[in-house]
Structure 1
Amino acid sequence: MFNKKEMTGTTIIAIKYDDGVLIGADSRTSMGAYIPSRVTDKLTPITNNIFVCRSGSSADTQMISEYLKMYLTLYSHLESSIPLVQRAATLASKIIYENPSLLAGLIVAGYDDKPRIFNISLGGTLVECDWAIGGSGSAFIYGYCDVNWKNGMSLEEGIGFIKNAVSCAINRDNASGGCIRMSAISRNGVQRYFYPGDKVLQ
Protein backbone atom coordinates (compact mmCIF):
# COMPACT_ATOMS: atom_id res chain seq x y z
CA MET A 1 0.00 0.00 0.00
CA PHE A 2 2.72 2.49 0.94
CA ASN A 3 4.81 2.05 -2.22
CA LYS A 4 2.23 4.16 -4.08
CA LYS A 5 2.86 7.84 -4.78
CA GLU A 6 0.97 10.30 -2.62
CA MET A 7 -1.46 11.88 -5.05
CA THR A 8 -3.50 15.05 -5.06
CA GLY A 9 -5.94 13.07 -7.25
CA THR A 10 -8.28 15.65 -7.13
CA THR A 11 -10.47 18.35 -8.63
CA ILE A 12 -8.94 21.72 -9.57
CA ILE A 13 -10.64 24.58 -11.41
CA ALA A 14 -9.94 28.15 -12.52
CA ILE A 15 -12.28 30.67 -14.14
CA LYS A 16 -12.14 34.29 -15.22
CA TYR A 17 -14.67 36.61 -13.58
CA ASP A 18 -15.34 40.28 -14.23
CA ASP A 19 -12.44 41.57 -12.07
CA GLY A 20 -9.88 38.77 -12.18
CA VAL A 21 -9.36 35.05 -11.78
CA LEU A 22 -11.04 32.68 -9.32
CA ILE A 23 -9.46 29.30 -8.56
CA GLY A 24 -10.72 26.38 -6.47
CA ALA A 25 -9.96 22.83 -5.40
CA ASP A 26 -11.02 20.04 -3.09
CA SER A 27 -8.64 19.00 -0.30
CA ARG A 28 -8.25 15.20 -0.37
CA THR A 29 -4.84 13.54 -0.79
CA SER A 30 -4.76 9.81 -1.49
CA MET A 31 -2.36 6.86 -1.81
CA GLY A 32 -4.43 4.16 -3.46
CA ALA A 33 -7.24 3.40 -1.02
CA TYR A 34 -5.45 5.21 1.83
CA ILE A 35 -6.22 8.90 2.49
CA PRO A 36 -3.22 10.56 4.23
CA SER A 37 -4.86 14.00 4.37
CA ARG A 38 -8.36 15.46 4.08
CA VAL A 39 -7.28 19.12 4.35
CA THR A 40 -4.50 19.54 1.74
CA ASP A 41 -4.19 23.03 0.22
CA LYS A 42 -3.78 22.48 -3.53
CA LEU A 43 -3.83 26.21 -4.35
CA THR A 44 -0.18 27.22 -4.07
CA PRO A 45 0.92 30.88 -4.32
CA ILE A 46 4.18 31.30 -6.21
CA THR A 47 4.13 35.12 -6.28
CA ASN A 48 1.73 37.74 -4.95
CA ASN A 49 -0.21 37.63 -8.22
CA ILE A 50 0.22 34.05 -9.49
CA PHE A 51 -1.10 30.73 -8.13
CA VAL A 52 -0.62 27.11 -9.16
CA CYS A 53 -3.50 24.62 -8.83
CA ARG A 54 -1.89 21.21 -8.32
CA SER A 55 -3.01 17.73 -9.40
CA GLY A 56 -0.94 14.57 -9.70
CA SER A 57 1.91 13.50 -7.42
CA SER A 58 2.09 15.67 -4.30
CA ALA A 59 5.89 15.55 -4.24
CA ASP A 60 6.25 16.36 -7.94
CA THR A 61 3.80 19.27 -7.92
CA GLN A 62 5.25 20.72 -4.71
CA MET A 63 8.74 20.57 -6.22
CA ILE A 64 7.62 22.32 -9.41
CA SER A 65 5.82 25.00 -7.38
CA GLU A 66 8.90 25.65 -5.24
CA TYR A 67 11.12 25.90 -8.33
CA LEU A 68 8.71 28.38 -9.93
CA LYS A 69 8.61 30.42 -6.73
CA MET A 70 12.43 30.56 -6.56
CA TYR A 71 12.84 31.47 -10.24
CA LEU A 72 10.12 34.15 -10.29
CA THR A 73 11.34 35.72 -7.04
CA LEU A 74 14.83 36.03 -8.56
CA TYR A 75 13.36 37.36 -11.81
CA SER A 76 11.28 40.04 -10.04
CA HIS A 77 14.37 41.24 -8.12
CA LEU A 78 16.58 41.36 -11.21
CA GLU A 79 13.99 42.96 -13.49
CA SER A 80 12.27 45.09 -10.82
CA SER A 81 8.91 44.11 -12.28
CA ILE A 82 5.95 41.88 -11.52
CA PRO A 83 6.37 38.42 -13.13
CA LEU A 84 3.95 37.63 -15.95
CA VAL A 85 1.56 34.70 -15.59
CA GLN A 86 2.57 33.42 -19.02
CA ARG A 87 6.23 33.30 -17.98
CA ALA A 88 5.35 31.11 -14.98
CA ALA A 89 3.13 28.85 -17.07
CA THR A 90 5.73 28.47 -19.83
CA LEU A 91 8.41 27.48 -17.33
CA ALA A 92 6.10 24.96 -15.62
CA SER A 93 5.21 23.46 -19.00
CA LYS A 94 8.90 23.18 -19.93
CA ILE A 95 9.73 21.42 -16.63
CA ILE A 96 6.95 18.86 -17.10
CA TYR A 97 7.73 18.27 -20.80
CA GLU A 98 11.46 17.76 -20.21
CA ASN A 99 10.93 15.44 -17.23
CA PRO A 100 8.43 12.80 -18.41
CA SER A 101 8.71 10.87 -15.13
CA LEU A 102 6.95 13.73 -13.35
CA LEU A 103 3.27 13.13 -12.66
CA ALA A 104 1.89 16.67 -12.65
CA GLY A 105 -1.12 18.37 -14.17
CA LEU A 106 -1.27 22.07 -13.31
CA ILE A 107 -3.38 25.16 -13.79
CA VAL A 108 -1.33 28.36 -13.58
CA ALA A 109 -3.57 31.38 -12.99
CA GLY A 110 -3.11 34.96 -11.93
CA TYR A 111 -3.37 38.64 -12.75
CA ASP A 112 -0.66 40.81 -14.35
CA ASP A 113 -2.10 43.43 -16.68
CA LYS A 114 -5.21 41.25 -17.08
CA PRO A 115 -6.55 37.90 -15.81
CA ARG A 116 -4.73 34.88 -17.29
CA ILE A 117 -5.37 31.13 -17.02
CA PHE A 118 -3.08 28.43 -18.46
CA ASN A 119 -3.88 24.72 -18.36
CA ILE A 120 -0.87 22.36 -18.40
CA SER A 121 -1.54 18.68 -19.09
CA LEU A 122 0.40 15.70 -17.73
CA GLY A 123 2.65 15.73 -20.82
CA GLY A 124 3.38 19.45 -20.59
CA THR A 125 0.97 20.78 -23.23
CA LEU A 126 0.23 24.46 -22.51
CA VAL A 127 -3.14 26.01 -23.40
CA GLU A 128 -4.47 29.45 -22.45
CA CYS A 129 -8.19 29.48 -21.74
CA ASP A 130 -11.05 31.37 -20.08
CA TRP A 131 -11.70 28.47 -17.72
CA ALA A 132 -9.88 25.24 -16.95
CA ILE A 133 -10.46 22.11 -14.91
CA GLY A 134 -8.12 19.27 -14.03
CA GLY A 135 -7.58 16.20 -11.89
CA SER A 136 -9.53 12.97 -11.65
CA GLY A 137 -12.74 14.76 -10.68
CA SER A 138 -12.74 16.91 -13.80
CA ALA A 139 -14.21 14.09 -15.92
CA PHE A 140 -17.45 14.39 -13.95
CA ILE A 141 -17.94 18.15 -14.40
CA TYR A 142 -17.05 19.00 -18.00
CA GLY A 143 -20.73 19.01 -18.94
CA TYR A 144 -21.65 21.21 -15.99
CA CYS A 145 -18.90 23.71 -16.83
CA ASP A 146 -19.75 23.77 -20.55
CA VAL A 147 -23.38 24.60 -19.81
CA ASN A 148 -23.03 26.93 -16.83
CA TRP A 149 -19.85 28.97 -17.36
CA LYS A 150 -20.45 32.39 -18.88
CA ASN A 151 -18.22 35.32 -19.68
CA GLY A 152 -18.25 38.27 -17.28
CA MET A 153 -19.51 36.53 -14.14
CA SER A 154 -19.37 38.51 -10.90
CA LEU A 155 -17.23 37.25 -8.03
CA GLU A 156 -20.35 35.98 -6.24
CA GLU A 157 -21.52 34.12 -9.35
CA GLY A 158 -18.04 32.67 -9.81
CA ILE A 159 -17.91 31.42 -6.23
CA GLY A 160 -21.27 29.71 -6.66
CA PHE A 161 -20.15 28.19 -9.96
CA ILE A 162 -16.95 26.73 -8.51
CA LYS A 163 -18.64 25.56 -5.32
CA ASN A 164 -21.25 23.66 -7.34
CA ALA A 165 -18.67 22.22 -9.76
CA VAL A 166 -16.28 20.96 -7.08
CA SER A 167 -19.20 19.64 -5.00
CA CYS A 168 -20.41 17.61 -8.00
CA ALA A 169 -16.92 16.19 -8.48
CA ILE A 170 -16.58 15.32 -4.79
CA ASN A 171 -19.91 13.48 -4.88
CA ARG A 172 -18.86 11.38 -7.91
CA ASP A 173 -15.07 10.97 -7.67
CA ASN A 174 -13.66 8.87 -4.83
CA ALA A 175 -10.25 10.58 -5.16
CA SER A 176 -11.80 14.02 -4.49
CA GLY A 177 -13.18 15.05 -1.12
CA GLY A 178 -12.81 17.07 2.05
CA CYS A 179 -13.38 20.81 2.00
CA ILE A 180 -13.38 23.37 -0.82
CA ARG A 181 -10.78 26.15 -1.00
CA MET A 182 -10.90 29.12 -3.34
CA SER A 183 -8.75 32.15 -4.09
CA ALA A 184 -9.76 35.27 -6.01
CA ILE A 185 -6.83 37.05 -7.69
CA SER A 186 -7.29 40.56 -9.06
CA ARG A 187 -5.50 43.89 -9.38
CA ASN A 188 -6.51 44.51 -5.75
CA GLY A 189 -4.70 41.44 -4.42
CA VAL A 190 -5.84 38.01 -3.24
CA GLN A 191 -8.91 36.95 -1.28
CA ARG A 192 -9.15 33.39 0.05
CA TYR A 193 -12.32 31.43 0.80
CA PHE A 194 -12.89 28.19 2.69
CA TYR A 195 -15.93 25.89 2.78
CA PRO A 196 -15.73 22.96 5.24
CA GLY A 197 -16.94 19.50 4.34
CA ASP A 198 -20.37 19.98 5.89
CA LYS A 199 -20.93 22.97 3.56
CA VAL A 200 -20.18 20.95 0.43
CA LEU A 201 -23.39 20.43 -1.55
CA GLN A 202 -24.77 16.90 -1.37
Structure 2
Amino acid sequence: MALQSVCGWDVTPSRQILQRDFCRLPHLNSSGYPRLLLPPYKVTSSHRNPSGPPPPAHGTTTLAFLYDKGVMVATDSRSSAGKLVCSPDSRKATLIHSHLIASTSGSAADCQFFGRVLARECRLYQLRNGYMPSVKGAAKMLSTMMLPFRGMDICAAVTLSGWDRNGPCICYVYNDGTRISSDVISVGSGSPYAYSIIDDGYRPGMEEEEARQLARRAVCHAGRRDAYSGGFVDVYMVKESGCEKDAREDLVEMYKRLIQEEKQ
Protein backbone atom coordinates (compact mmCIF):
# COMPACT_ATOMS: atom_id res chain seq x y z
CA MET A 1 0.00 0.00 0.00
CA ALA A 2 2.85 2.41 0.78
CA LEU A 3 4.45 1.75 -2.61
CA GLN A 4 1.12 2.36 -4.33
CA SER A 5 0.78 5.68 -2.55
CA VAL A 6 4.29 6.79 -3.51
CA CYS A 7 3.76 5.84 -7.16
CA GLY A 8 0.34 7.43 -7.27
CA TRP A 9 -1.66 4.23 -7.72
CA ASP A 10 -3.97 4.71 -4.75
CA VAL A 11 -6.73 2.12 -4.65
CA THR A 12 -8.66 4.12 -1.98
CA PRO A 13 -9.75 7.39 -3.58
CA SER A 14 -10.72 10.47 -1.63
CA ARG A 15 -14.30 11.41 -0.79
CA GLN A 16 -14.33 14.02 -3.55
CA ILE A 17 -13.18 11.52 -6.14
CA LEU A 18 -15.89 9.10 -5.02
CA GLN A 19 -18.61 11.70 -5.39
CA ARG A 20 -17.41 12.88 -8.79
CA ASP A 21 -16.21 9.78 -10.66
CA PHE A 22 -17.95 6.79 -9.08
CA CYS A 23 -21.44 5.45 -9.60
CA ARG A 24 -23.52 3.80 -6.94
CA LEU A 25 -24.73 0.23 -7.33
CA PRO A 26 -27.97 -1.13 -5.86
CA HIS A 27 -27.59 -2.02 -2.18
CA LEU A 28 -29.63 -3.35 0.72
CA ASN A 29 -31.18 -0.76 3.07
CA SER A 30 -29.85 -2.49 6.15
CA SER A 31 -27.59 -1.08 8.82
CA GLY A 32 -25.53 -4.27 8.76
CA TYR A 33 -24.62 -3.87 5.09
CA PRO A 34 -22.47 -0.89 4.15
CA ARG A 35 -22.97 0.96 0.90
CA LEU A 36 -20.97 -0.56 -1.94
CA LEU A 37 -19.25 1.85 -4.33
CA LEU A 38 -17.44 0.57 -7.43
CA PRO A 39 -15.86 2.51 -10.32
CA PRO A 40 -17.65 2.49 -13.68
CA TYR A 41 -16.00 1.11 -16.77
CA LYS A 42 -12.75 2.85 -17.81
CA VAL A 43 -12.69 5.20 -14.80
CA THR A 44 -9.41 5.32 -12.93
CA SER A 45 -9.27 5.40 -9.13
CA SER A 46 -5.98 7.31 -9.01
CA HIS A 47 -5.98 11.11 -8.67
CA ARG A 48 -2.18 11.42 -8.83
CA ASN A 49 -1.45 9.33 -11.90
CA PRO A 50 -4.54 9.17 -14.16
CA SER A 51 -2.89 6.65 -16.44
CA GLY A 52 -2.57 4.11 -13.63
CA PRO A 53 0.29 1.60 -13.23
CA PRO A 54 2.62 1.04 -16.18
CA PRO A 55 1.58 -1.79 -18.52
CA PRO A 56 3.43 -5.11 -18.26
CA ALA A 57 6.32 -5.71 -20.64
CA HIS A 58 5.69 -7.76 -23.76
CA GLY A 59 7.51 -11.05 -23.28
CA THR A 60 9.35 -12.99 -25.94
CA THR A 61 12.82 -13.95 -27.12
CA THR A 62 13.81 -13.72 -30.77
CA LEU A 63 17.30 -13.55 -32.24
CA ALA A 64 19.06 -13.60 -35.59
CA PHE A 65 22.73 -13.57 -36.56
CA LEU A 66 24.87 -14.16 -39.63
CA TYR A 67 26.89 -17.34 -40.19
CA ASP A 68 28.91 -18.67 -43.11
CA LYS A 69 25.93 -19.81 -45.25
CA GLY A 70 23.26 -17.25 -44.39
CA VAL A 71 21.19 -16.13 -41.41
CA MET A 72 20.32 -18.17 -38.32
CA VAL A 73 16.98 -17.27 -36.69
CA ALA A 74 15.63 -18.62 -33.39
CA THR A 75 12.54 -17.84 -31.32
CA ASP A 76 10.68 -19.14 -28.30
CA SER A 77 6.97 -20.03 -28.48
CA ARG A 78 5.30 -18.55 -25.38
CA SER A 79 2.56 -15.94 -25.86
CA SER A 80 1.50 -14.03 -22.77
CA ALA A 81 -1.03 -11.38 -21.75
CA GLY A 82 0.41 -9.68 -18.72
CA LYS A 83 1.14 -12.47 -16.24
CA LEU A 84 -1.11 -14.99 -18.04
CA VAL A 85 0.39 -17.52 -20.45
CA CYS A 86 -2.08 -17.58 -23.34
CA SER A 87 -0.31 -20.11 -25.57
CA PRO A 88 2.84 -22.19 -25.00
CA ASP A 89 3.31 -23.17 -28.66
CA SER A 90 2.71 -20.11 -30.83
CA ARG A 91 4.73 -19.29 -33.95
CA LYS A 92 6.73 -16.07 -33.77
CA ALA A 93 8.29 -16.25 -37.22
CA THR A 94 6.39 -15.46 -40.42
CA LEU A 95 7.53 -16.37 -43.93
CA ILE A 96 7.25 -13.21 -46.06
CA HIS A 97 8.53 -14.94 -49.19
CA SER A 98 10.88 -17.80 -50.02
CA HIS A 99 14.05 -15.85 -49.03
CA LEU A 100 12.73 -13.54 -46.28
CA ILE A 101 11.46 -14.40 -42.80
CA ALA A 102 10.13 -12.02 -40.13
CA SER A 103 10.53 -12.81 -36.42
CA THR A 104 8.22 -10.69 -34.29
CA SER A 105 7.95 -9.33 -30.77
CA GLY A 106 5.09 -7.32 -29.28
CA SER A 107 1.35 -7.53 -29.73
CA ALA A 108 0.48 -10.68 -31.68
CA ALA A 109 -2.36 -8.97 -33.57
CA ASP A 110 -0.19 -6.01 -34.62
CA CYS A 111 2.69 -8.26 -35.69
CA GLN A 112 0.41 -10.50 -37.77
CA PHE A 113 -1.19 -7.47 -39.41
CA PHE A 114 2.10 -5.89 -40.46
CA GLY A 115 3.45 -9.28 -41.56
CA ARG A 116 0.51 -9.80 -43.94
CA VAL A 117 0.76 -6.26 -45.28
CA LEU A 118 4.50 -6.60 -45.89
CA ALA A 119 4.03 -9.94 -47.69
CA ARG A 120 1.39 -8.33 -49.93
CA GLU A 121 3.58 -5.32 -50.73
CA CYS A 122 6.57 -7.51 -51.55
CA ARG A 123 4.42 -9.55 -53.93
CA LEU A 124 3.12 -6.37 -55.61
CA TYR A 125 6.69 -5.11 -55.91
CA GLN A 126 7.66 -8.35 -57.63
CA LEU A 127 4.76 -8.06 -60.08
CA ARG A 128 5.74 -4.50 -60.99
CA ASN A 129 9.52 -4.98 -61.22
CA GLY A 130 10.00 -8.67 -61.91
CA TYR A 131 11.99 -9.40 -58.73
CA MET A 132 11.56 -9.24 -54.96
CA PRO A 133 12.84 -6.22 -53.01
CA SER A 134 16.09 -6.50 -51.06
CA VAL A 135 16.00 -7.08 -47.31
CA LYS A 136 16.82 -3.43 -46.64
CA GLY A 137 14.22 -2.42 -49.22
CA ALA A 138 11.58 -4.54 -47.47
CA ALA A 139 12.61 -3.01 -44.13
CA LYS A 140 12.17 0.47 -45.60
CA MET A 141 8.73 -0.48 -46.91
CA LEU A 142 7.71 -1.78 -43.48
CA SER A 143 9.08 1.30 -41.74
CA THR A 144 7.10 3.55 -44.09
CA MET A 145 3.92 1.57 -43.39
CA MET A 146 4.45 1.92 -39.63
CA LEU A 147 5.10 5.67 -39.62
CA PRO A 148 1.41 6.70 -39.76
CA PHE A 149 0.79 4.69 -36.58
CA ARG A 150 3.45 6.54 -34.56
CA GLY A 151 2.08 7.67 -31.21
CA MET A 152 -0.80 5.21 -31.33
CA ASP A 153 -1.28 2.18 -29.11
CA ILE A 154 0.64 -0.11 -31.50
CA CYS A 155 3.38 -2.50 -30.38
CA ALA A 156 5.30 -4.38 -33.06
CA ALA A 157 9.03 -5.06 -33.32
CA VAL A 158 9.98 -7.00 -36.46
CA THR A 159 13.35 -8.54 -37.34
CA LEU A 160 13.68 -9.21 -41.07
CA SER A 161 16.21 -11.93 -41.95
CA GLY A 162 16.76 -12.76 -45.58
CA TRP A 163 18.95 -13.35 -48.59
CA ASP A 164 19.00 -11.03 -51.62
CA ARG A 165 21.35 -10.15 -54.47
CA ASN A 166 23.79 -8.64 -51.96
CA GLY A 167 23.87 -11.77 -49.78
CA PRO A 168 22.49 -12.35 -46.27
CA CYS A 169 21.15 -9.40 -44.33
CA ILE A 170 19.35 -8.67 -41.02
CA CYS A 171 17.20 -5.56 -40.41
CA TYR A 172 15.21 -4.50 -37.36
CA VAL A 173 12.09 -2.33 -37.65
CA TYR A 174 10.15 -0.89 -34.70
CA ASN A 175 6.58 0.44 -34.73
CA ASP A 176 7.73 4.08 -34.50
CA GLY A 177 9.57 3.73 -37.82
CA THR A 178 13.03 3.02 -36.39
CA ARG A 179 15.11 0.93 -38.82
CA ILE A 180 18.58 -0.51 -38.19
CA SER A 181 20.79 -3.23 -39.67
CA SER A 182 23.30 -5.40 -37.84
CA ASP A 183 25.04 -8.79 -37.91
CA VAL A 184 23.48 -9.82 -34.56
CA ILE A 185 20.03 -8.75 -33.34
CA SER A 186 17.98 -10.02 -30.41
CA VAL A 187 14.58 -8.60 -29.43
CA GLY A 188 12.20 -9.16 -26.52
CA SER A 189 12.21 -9.34 -22.76
CA GLY A 190 14.61 -12.30 -22.89
CA SER A 191 17.07 -10.57 -25.24
CA PRO A 192 19.57 -9.51 -22.50
CA TYR A 193 20.02 -13.16 -21.52
CA ALA A 194 20.26 -14.23 -25.17
CA TYR A 195 22.88 -11.56 -25.86
CA SER A 196 25.01 -12.87 -23.00
CA ILE A 197 25.17 -16.34 -24.61
CA ILE A 198 25.69 -14.98 -28.13
CA ASP A 199 28.46 -12.59 -27.08
CA ASP A 200 30.27 -15.48 -25.43
CA GLY A 201 30.09 -17.90 -28.38
CA TYR A 202 29.50 -15.90 -31.55
CA ARG A 203 32.18 -15.31 -34.16
CA PRO A 204 31.87 -14.24 -37.82
CA GLY A 205 31.83 -17.06 -40.35
CA MET A 206 30.52 -19.78 -38.03
CA GLU A 207 29.64 -23.14 -39.56
CA GLU A 208 26.00 -24.15 -39.75
CA GLU A 209 25.91 -26.75 -36.98
CA GLU A 210 27.85 -24.54 -34.58
CA ALA A 211 25.54 -21.61 -35.32
CA ARG A 212 22.47 -23.82 -34.85
CA GLN A 213 23.60 -24.99 -31.41
CA LEU A 214 24.49 -21.44 -30.36
CA ALA A 215 21.04 -20.14 -31.35
CA ARG A 216 19.28 -22.98 -29.50
CA ARG A 217 21.40 -22.47 -26.39
CA ALA A 218 20.77 -18.71 -26.36
CA VAL A 219 16.98 -19.05 -26.56
CA CYS A 220 17.02 -21.91 -24.04
CA HIS A 221 18.88 -19.91 -21.39
CA ALA A 222 16.76 -16.84 -22.08
CA GLY A 223 13.59 -18.85 -21.59
CA ARG A 224 14.99 -20.28 -18.38
CA ARG A 225 15.76 -16.83 -16.91
CA ASP A 226 12.89 -14.77 -18.35
CA ALA A 227 9.43 -15.52 -16.96
CA TYR A 228 7.70 -14.27 -20.12
CA SER A 229 9.67 -16.55 -22.48
CA GLY A 230 9.45 -20.32 -22.77
CA GLY A 231 7.64 -23.18 -24.44
CA PHE A 232 9.57 -24.51 -27.41
CA VAL A 233 12.61 -23.41 -29.40
CA ASP A 234 12.11 -22.84 -33.13
CA VAL A 235 15.18 -22.49 -35.36
CA TYR A 236 15.13 -21.23 -38.96
CA MET A 237 17.93 -20.88 -41.52
CA VAL A 238 17.81 -18.46 -44.45
CA LYS A 239 20.22 -19.54 -47.19
CA GLU A 240 20.75 -18.78 -50.86
CA SER A 241 18.44 -21.69 -51.68
CA GLY A 242 15.64 -20.36 -49.42
CA CYS A 243 14.31 -20.68 -45.86
CA GLU A 244 14.58 -23.92 -43.90
CA LYS A 245 13.19 -24.89 -40.51
CA ASP A 246 14.46 -27.31 -37.90
CA ALA A 247 12.19 -29.45 -35.75
CA ARG A 248 11.15 -27.57 -32.62
CA GLU A 249 12.48 -28.75 -29.29
CA ASP A 250 10.99 -28.47 -25.81
CA LEU A 251 12.84 -25.81 -23.84
CA VAL A 252 12.73 -27.68 -20.51
CA GLU A 253 14.10 -30.90 -22.00
CA MET A 254 16.78 -28.96 -23.86
CA TYR A 255 17.91 -27.23 -20.67
CA LYS A 256 18.25 -30.59 -18.91
CA ARG A 257 20.33 -31.89 -21.81
CA LEU A 258 22.59 -28.84 -21.77
CA ILE A 259 23.20 -29.21 -18.03
CA GLN A 260 24.14 -32.86 -18.45
CA GLU A 261 26.52 -32.01 -21.30
CA GLU A 262 28.21 -29.33 -19.19
CA LYS A 263 28.67 -31.78 -16.31
CA GLN A 264 30.23 -34.36 -18.59
Contact 1:182 / 1:193 at 8 angstroms: preserved in 2? yes
Contact 1:45 / 1:51 at 8 angstroms: preserved in 2? yes
Structure 1 Cα separation of the partners of residues 204 and 191 of structure 2? 20
Aligned partner of residue 123 in structure 1, secondary structure: coil
Deviation at 1:99, TM superposition (A): 1.1
State the match for 1:78 in structure 2: 128
- Return the letter of the residue paired with 1:162: A
Alignment of 1:75-154 (within 5 A): 75-100=125-150, 101=152, 102-113=154-165, 114-154=167-207
Q: What TM-score do you get using the length of structure 1 for normalisation?
A: 0.91
In 2 relative to 1, CA 8–200 (structure 1 residues): closer, same or farther, beyond 3 Å?
Answer: farther
Deviation at 1:97, TM superposition (A): 3.5
Deviation at 1:178, TM superposition (A): 0.5
Structure 2 Cα separation of the partners of residues 8 and 155 of structure 1? 31
- Return the letter of the residue paired with 2:170: I
Contact 1:179 / 1:200 at 8 angstroms: preserved in 2? no
Deviation at 1:35, TM superposition (A): 1.4
Unaligned runs of 5+ in 2: 1-54, 257-264
Structure 1 Cα separation of the partners of residues 203 and 177 of structure 2? 27
Structure 2 Cα separation of the partners of residues 149 and 12 of structure 1? 16
Superposed CA deviations along residues 59-105 of structure 1, whole A, max 9, x for unmatched, are 00100000000100111111111321111111222233331222011
Deviation at 1:8, TM superposition (A): 6.5
Deviation at 1:22, TM superposition (A): 1.1
Deviation at 1:122, TM superposition (A): 4.8
- Bigger share in strand: 1
State the match for 1:47 in structure 2: 97
State the match for 1:37 in structure 2: 87
Match status 1:200 vs 2:254? yes
Equivalent pairs: percent with the same residue? 29
Deviation at 1:49, TM superposition (A): 0.7
Unaligned runs of 5+ in 1: none
State the match for 1:161 in structure 2: 214
In 2 relative to 1, CA 20–76 (structure 1 residues): closer, same or farther, beyond 3 Å?
Answer: same
How many residue pairs were aligned?
Answer: 198
Contact 2:63 / 2:74 at 8 angstroms: preserved in 1? yes
- Return the letter of the residue paired with 1:201: Y
Q: Which has the higher contact order (CA 8 A, sep 6+)?
A: 1
- Return the letter of the residue paired with 1:46: I
Deviation at 1:163, TM superposition (A): 0.5
Aligned partner of residue 71 in structure 2, secondary structure: strand
Structure 2 Cα separation of the partners of residues 84 and 176 of structure 1? 31
Q: What TM-score do you get using the length of structure 2 for normalisation?
A: 0.71
Deviates more, 1:122-131 or 1:54-63: 122-131
Deviates more, 1:110-119 or 1:99-108: 99-108
Which has the larger Rg?
A: 2
